[in-house]
Amino acid sequence: MSTIATDPKPQSNNVPAGILLMIAATIVFALQDGLSRHLAGTYNTYMVVMVRYWFFAAFVLCLALRAPGGIRAVARTRQLGLQVFRGVLLVAEICTAVYGFTLLGLVESQAVFICYPLLVAALSGPVLGETVGWRRWAAIGVGLIGVLIILQPGGGVFNPAAVIPFVAALMFALYGLITRYVARQDSTATSFFWTGTAGMVFMTSIGIWFWEPMSQHDWLWMALLCVSGVAGHWLLIKCYEMAEASAVQPFAYFHLIWAAILGVSIFGEVIRLNVATGAALIMVAGLFTLWRESRKARAR
């Protein structure tokens, strides 16, 4: 659920390699979602996310130690409050998303969650002061229609839990916008550091109270969950070092495909017609928004 890169470096802009890395990252993140669904279905969500963040924070600290100037240089910021809020917001979004997996499954959760780029576009005006033209508003409208088709709020079988992944998407969109805002002063390495450390401290303060014994077999799944989280971030870092974000970002939608395959084959989920239709509308609207942003960026 993150798109983090390291400090800017000269890019070779090897688009084919970047696309392969992005697709690999989506496979790993889908695996992570499946593991989270399994573990959070047996153990408390807060505990599962807490242990995952211990490993994530360790990864962040290792990167900071290798950076020029070490941890002190990487951690330096004039926006400490915003950086801490970002970290807390992301870990809260992860808890919300994982809880949604346990109630709705991977397919429906991810089908709704993929609307977050459209929410970023919609909120970029009031939050960052960016101009949102009528074409982007039209794409946002189409995407939200897709969300409504999935949720079916007017139907007699509407499940209120279906709103949970939309709330997670809204939180992740806000996290992304705040990340853009703090990037005006802080490096990406600094933001990445505070994402991991602030999230770990906050999650530990909550999750430790929900600790419960875990079987040896499930500790193996937990270890794989932690490794997949680190591997996913590493693949994204390499992806954005290899190619421009505008070229590889559309392939992030492969996440939904892998999540659907896992949901159907492993967890016995069913892809309903309204979910497939709504997800297709959201993806088309999202791809159009990404295309418009890349055109505007090239025109500058």
Residue 299 has a pLDDT of 63
pTM for this prediction: 0.84
220 residue type, one letter: L
- In tens, the pLDDT along 113-172 reads 988 888 887 887 777 776 777 777 788 788 888 888 887 765 544 567 878 999 999 998
Q: Does 6 score more than 50 pLDDT?
A: no
Counting every residue, how long is the chain? 300
Between CA 40 and CA 3, with CA 201 as vertex, the angle to 5 degrees is 70
**Mean pLDDT score across all residues of the chain:** 84
Per-residue pLDDT for 3 more than 50?
Answer: no
What's at 226, amino acid-wise?
A: C
Supply the pLDDT for residue 10.
47
Residue 5's pLDDT band, with cuts at 50, 70 and 90, is very low
Give the Cα-Cα-Cα angle 199, 112, 170 (nearest 5 degrees). 45
* pLDDT over 70 at 11, yes or no: no
Q: Where does the pLDDT of residue 297 fall: very low under 50, low under 70, confident under 90, or very high at 90 and above?
A: low
Q: State what percent of residues in the chain have pLDDT above 70.
A: 88
pLDDT of residue 4: 42
Rounded distance between C-alpha atoms, residue 116 and residue 256, angstroms? 13
Closest CA to 100 of 51, 172, 191: 172
Average pLDDT over residues 244-248: 68
Given pLDDT bands bounded at 50, 70 and 90, which one contains residue 300? low
pLDDT in tens, 27-47: 998 999 999 999 999 999 999
Query: Which pLDDT score, from 0 to 100, does residue 283 have?
Result: 87
Q: Is the pLDDT of residue 94 over 70?
A: yes
Using the predicted structure, report yes or no on whether residue 7 has a pLDDT greater than 50: no
Question: Token digits for 43?
Answer: 């153990």
List alpha helices for 76-133, DSSP H.
80-104, 106-113, 116-128
Among 11-15, 85-89, 266-270, the range of highest mean pLDDT: 85-89
pLDDT of residue 287: 83
DSSP structure string for 184-197: TTS-HHHHHHHHHH
- In this predicted structure, the answer to whether residue 12 has a pLDDT above a threshold of 70 is no
Predicted pLDDT of residue 31: 94
**Residue 273 CB neighbours (<10 A):** 8
Instruction: Give how far the C-alpha of residue 52 lies from the chain's centroid of Cα atoms, to the nearest Å.
Output: 15
Burial of 117 (0-12, 13-18, 19+ CB in 10 A): buried
Rounded mean pLDDT, 6-30: 74
Under the banding of pLDDT at 50, 70 and 90, the label for residue 206 is very high
pLDDT of residue 134: 73
13 has pLDDT over 70: no
